[in-house]
Structures are given as structure tokens and as C-alpha cells.
Amino acid sequence: MRMPHAGLACVLMLLTGLTFFNLTSGSVLTWSGASLRGVAAVGAVQHLEATSGPQLRQLNQLVHLWVEHSEGLRVGPEINWVQWLLGTLYPPAARSQLAARILASGEGDCSERSAVLQAMLSRRGIASRLVGLGGHVVLETQPVDGGGLVLDPDYGVEFPGTVSELSGGQRDDEIRSALASAGFAESQIQLYREILYSQQDNQAIDWNRPLSPRLFWMEWMTQGVVQVACCGVILFLIGTIRW
């Protein structure tokens, strides 16, 4: 085999090999980029799912405790090299939208932690939607007989009612009480109230939809591209190696 072909094959095989194993496995534990904290988080989720009927508040607290707050998970070449390359051209494309991948990493910002919680609720048939409030993202469950619930896994708090009720000032005492019970100082409570009552950058996503559907499907599609590329490299090597 000529050296240029050998070098190209080695580079392609390295890139595709980084993601081949996790693409062919169904377990969340096999995602590339999984951290020790992420493995512990997955274990905590599996343990909770084995119990009978975990409450929404339990799930909210689980995400808050096991998915550490960060500036957000960025997909590197060891996770999905196609998505990573796209992210160099359009930075938002490098942000993961997949709840399993975020959970396995053990870290995420407010929107990513809410996405993990949304996936857990979806598995239980509970409709929810992501709501942006002044740059902060919370999760609102669809109102049923018992009323709605606003869950904030980033802060580890939950409030009865809907986002519109909270942002309208109708439940200010309950907001203060919940935050104080969670151990937040008065200055932090005031900051949270300002975010909640902000009228800037407010947006409610459709029920059971990811924060960015286009980026979500792009991430799934690039995984398929990587898998196809992996098979292509293997066939290329088989066809070009001559002893």
C-alpha cells in the first residue's frame, strides 16, 4: 500500500475508531467522554428507576446532585469527530443535545441539566417543556389534575404551578420559601426572583421537544455519518492492503 493512502487510512481510522464503540452499543455507560461522576450519575438513575414510582422531586434532586453545573458540554473529537468539525465552523453545533451523553459526562449547564430531567420524565410518560427565563432554563410539567410543577435541576428547587404563574408574581411567597428551604441566601433569592420576573429572552419550547430540534437531529445524523465512515475505512483498508 502506498504511504499517502496508508497515512490517510490511519487518520480516518483514528477519528472513526474513537466513536465506533459507543455507536454500536445501547448502554449509556459506553458513551465516549463518560466521566467517573457520569458513571456514578448513571448508576444513581438506574437505582432510582428500579424503585417503585419515583417522585418528580426525587428526579429533580437526582439531576441536581449528580450532574454538576458547568458552562456546558462540548463534544470533542473523541466523542463525535464529525460534530466536532462542524462545531469549529458553527460553535453551537458542538454543544450536545443528547440527554444520555450529558448524563454520562456528569456535567452540564441549566439547559442541559433540564434536558436530562426532561428525558427522565418522558420515559415515564410525563409531558414537559423547556422554558427560558432571562437566560436561565427551567422545566415545566404539563398541568394535569393535580396542577403543573416547575422543576429547576440547576438550582435543585421545584415550585407548584406554571411558569406564567411564577413569572407573574402570583407565587412570590412560595418562591421565597422554596429557595430559603434549599439554603439560598437572601441575595441569591433576590437574584433568582429577578431572573424569574425578567421579560427578556423568555421562550417556551413546545412540549417534549429539545431546546434546539435542528441541532438535536444534526447530532443524531452525524453519529450515523461516523458509523458509516467507520465501515468505509474498514473496507478501504481491506481493499488497499497488499502483502
| Sheet (strand 128-133) strand order | 157-160, 149-152, 136-141, 128-133, 203-204
* Grid cell locating 59: 428526579
Q: What is the C-alpha to C-alpha distance for residues 60 and 243, in angstroms, rounded to an integer?
A: 59
Whether residues 111 and 225 share a domain: the answer is yes
pLDDT at 105: 82
pLDDT at 186: 93
pLDDT at 22: 45
Q: What is the C-alpha to C-alpha distance for residues 237 and 215, in angstroms, rounded to an integer?
A: 32
Neighbours of 4 (CB within 10 A): 8
Whether residues 120 and 132 share a domain: the answer is no
Q: What is the dihedral of CA 173, 178, 184, 188, to 10 degrees?
A: -50
Structural domain that includes position 3: 1-125+212-243
Q: What is the C-alpha to C-alpha distance for residues 114 and 153, in angstroms, rounded to an integer?
A: 6
Whether residues 104 and 160 share a domain: the answer is no
Whether residues 145 and 80 share a domain: the answer is no
pLDDT at 40: 55
Whether residues 121 and 30 share a domain: the answer is yes
Which residue do the cell numbers 407565587 mark? 171
Q: What is the C-alpha to C-alpha distance for residues 39 and 92, in angstroms, rounded to an integer?
A: 26
DSSP SS3 for 204: strand
How far apart, in Å, do the first and last CA atoms of the chain sit? 8
pLDDT at 54: 55
Q: What is the DSSP string of 7-47?
A: HHHHHHHHHHHHHHHHHT---GGG-TT--HHHHHHHHHHHH
Q: What is the C-alpha to C-alpha distance for residues 79 and 126, in angstroms, rounded to an integer?
A: 30
Whether residues 111 and 139 share a domain: the answer is no
Burial, 37: exposed, middle or buried (Cβ in 10 Å; 0-12, 13-18, 19+)? Answer: middle
**Domain count for the chain:** 2
Q: What is the DSSP string of 81-99?
A: HHHHHHHHHSGGGGB---H
Whether residues 184 and 240 share a domain: the answer is no
Q: Name which of 104, 39, 117 is nearest 75 in CA terms.
A: 104
Whether 38 and 103 have beta carbons less than 8 Å apart is answered as yes
pLDDT at 234: 66
Whether residues 32 and 74 share a domain: the answer is yes
Whether residues 176 and 228 share a domain: the answer is no
Whether residues 21 and 38 share a domain: the answer is yes
Whether residues 103 and 136 share a domain: the answer is no
Whether residues 9 and 80 share a domain: the answer is yes
User: Which mean pLDDT values do the consecutive 10-residue runs of the chain (243 residues) have?
Assistant: 54 56 40 51 59 72 86 78 84 83 85 91 89 90 77 92 84 90 92 85 85 79 71 67 58
DSSP SS3 for 159: strand
Q: What is the C-alpha to C-alpha distance for residues 75 and 105, in angstroms, rounded to an integer?
A: 10
pLDDT at 14: 59
DSSP SS3 for 179: helix
